[in-house]
Amino acid sequence: MFESLQERLGSILNGLTGRGALSEADVAAALREVRRALLEADVALDVVRSFTDKVRERAVGAAVLKSIKPGQMVVKIVHDELVAMLGEEGVPIDLNAPAPVVIMMVGLQGSGKTTTSAKIARRLTDRQGKKVLMASLDTRRPAAQEQLRQLGEQVKVATLPVVAGQSPVDIARRAVHAAKLGGHDVLILDTAGRTHIDEPLMVEMAEIKAASNPHEILLVADSLTGQDAVNLARNFDERVGITGLVLTRMDGDGRGGAALSMRAVTGKPIKLIGTGEKMDALEEFYPKRIADRILGMGDIVSLVEKAAETIDAEKAAAMAKKMQSGKFDLNDLADQLGQMQKMGGMGGIMGMMPGMGKMKDQMAAAGLDDRMFKRQLAIISSMTRAERANPDILKHSRKKRIAAGSGADAAEINKLLKMHRGMADMMKAMGGKGKGGGMMRGLM
Ligand code: GDP
């Protein structure tokens, strides 16, 4: 799975990671290579373009962390954007509905629908203790119904007995009825495929959907068909509406581009991947794991993550120390306000601190809200370095200049200074009791 892409990306990024400094041109050249590698892996052009744009944007704007080489930072950014492209989180099959939960399997003939139906049935039975019924709605190929029956026997899951002459919709209705009567938790409907999408197939799918009210409609697509699989997904989704995808034959593909574009193009999650013909060859699709597999650079990614944490922790510790000593100047206040905005404003921060609900209300009553913080940041940024370090020098003429620069009036400036003084005093007092660091650490 993804071998050739992994090799290509690996050599491109390895070329970056060893270097001490990277110019924008270096990054651009590497990204051109990445772009080519993704296109050769059959990732959709639009997806590739938006991916490289995002990586470039972040790479240029990224603050390089201490102890991290720029190239390593780029690897981490590529990794994060890959995860984003793949959908961030794994999305399992959703069984959250009244029993019997109907899972409708759709897709072209030979894509692996019947095999995947049995694999899913086995998994739900063995791992989740569900009572499952499977039904084949493929009336055109009696062999298909027989195949499902045999697989059912193999994985010890019940299949709906075949009644000759029934239409797919009739079978669907009968299956729902049987599942209810039999007390089954889940009903898997294995629909008929065609060699290609045609109108009668889509009409049939829509009718089956109407008759069985499926909670999940999973499109099974052969990952070896690359871009065709992506188009297929788009088509099925427009006509029938799908809730997720299963990509089969991931064991056979070195390119894997379909998997990479699927989510971005259709907006539907890849829920499972088929990795072989055996009944246990089915895996959950976890974007982060897949990205790790593709890049094969998990050690660099975690190195960068750790460095980012360390920086935050170092900053927090330095700030706490400063506060405890009572040396909390307006630069520090601006840092705090900026940090607060980064963390989702007042609501975000208070939400993280237990027991802060009441304080939040009090602050709101006092007019301390996010808009005010923004204005305060504007005031502070209109001050000189010396003024921020030593607010005591802020007399009338300086305040006038700051007011003109920030669009605030003298009263607002005085209010800010008063708040700062109050905070500095409070921190000093708390620092004396040895409690300040902990609480303020929570604030950062
Ligand atoms: P259907 O026509 O969509 O129901 O497709 P089938 O379930 O009959 O599968 C067609 C063939 O593909 C069978 O020989 C399966 O064993 C094989 N197959 C299905 N899924 C996978 C997979 O993930 N990997 C591999 N290597 N073969 C698979």
Closest atom of ligand 1 to 248 CA is 23
302 CA to centre of ligand 1 in angstroms: 37
What string of pLDDT tens digits covers the 444 residues of the chain? 777 788 888 888 877 776 666 777 878 888 888 898 888 888 888 899 999 999 888 887 666 666 677 777 788 888 889 899 888 888 999 999 998 999 999 999 999 999 999 999 999 999 999 999 999 999 988 789 999 999 999 999 999 998 888 999 999 999 999 999 999 999 999 998 877 778 888 999 999 999 999 999 999 999 888 788 888 899 999 999 999 999 999 887 666 777 888 888 889 999 999 999 999 999 999 888 888 877 776 666 767 777 677 666 667 677 677 766 767 788 888 877 776 666 655 555 555 554 555 556 666 666 666 777 788 888 998 998 889 888 888 888 899 999 988 888 888 899 888 888 887 777 777 665 544 444 444 343
Q: Mutate which of 115, 138, 201, 270 to test ligand 1's pocket (most atoms within 8 Å of Cβ)?
A: 115
Closest atom of ligand 1 to 107 CA is 3
CATH class, domain 3-89+296-300, is: mainly alpha
Is 109 annotated to bind ligand?
A: yes
373 CA to centre of ligand 1 in angstroms: 59
Residue located nearest, by CA, to atom 6 of ligand 1: 112
Residue 444, pLDDT score: 37
277 CA to centre of ligand 1 in angstroms: 6
Give the span between the Cα atoms of 236 and 80, in whole angstroms: 29
Is 114 annotated to bind ligand?
A: yes
Residue located nearest, by CA, to atom 2 of ligand 1: 110
Residue 332, pLDDT score: 81
280 CA to centre of ligand 1 in angstroms: 13
Residue 231, pLDDT score: 87
Is 248 annotated to bind ligand?
A: yes
CB-based contacts of 283, cutoff 8 Å, min separation 6: 250, 272, 273, 275
Is 181 annotated to bind ligand?
A: no
Residue 65, pLDDT score: 64
Q: Which residues line ligand 1 (CB under 6 A)?
A: 107, 109-115, 193, 248-249, 251-252, 274-277, 281
Specify the CATH superfamily of domain 101-285: P-loop containing nucleotide triphosphate hydrolases (3.40.50.300)
250 CA to centre of ligand 1 in angstroms: 11
Is 108 annotated to bind ligand?
A: yes
DSSP string, 207-255: HHHHHH--SEEEEEEEGGGTHHHHHHHHHHHHHT--SEEEEE-TTT-S-
Q: How many CB atoms lie within 10 A of CB 375?
A: 16
Cis, bond preceding 100 (omega within 30 deg of 0): yes
Any idea where the domains of the chain sit in the sequence?
A: 3-89+296-300, 101-285, 325-443
Please identify which residue in the block is written with the tokens 């629909």.
191
Is 224 annotated to bind ligand?
A: no
CB-based contacts of 156, cutoff 8 Å, min separation 6: 122, 125
Torsion from C-alpha of 184, 133, 240, 1, nearest 10 degrees: 120
Residue 259, pLDDT score: 81
Give the span between the Cα atoms of 262 and 272, in whole angstroms: 12
Please identify which residue in the block is written with the tokens 């499109």.
219
Q: Which residues is 272 bridged to in the sheet?
A: 246, 284
212 CA to centre of ligand 1 in angstroms: 25
Residue located nearest, by CA, to atom 16 of ligand 1: 277
Residue 437, pLDDT score: 42
CB-based contacts of 173, cutoff 8 Å, min separation 6: 211, 212
Is 111 annotated to bind ligand?
A: yes
114 CA to centre of ligand 1 in angstroms: 7
Level-2 CATH architecture, domain 325-443:
Orthogonal Bundle (1.10)
Given a contact cutoff of 8 angstroms between Cβ atoms, the answer to whether 319 and 83 are in contact is no
Closest atom of ligand 1 to 220 CA is 3
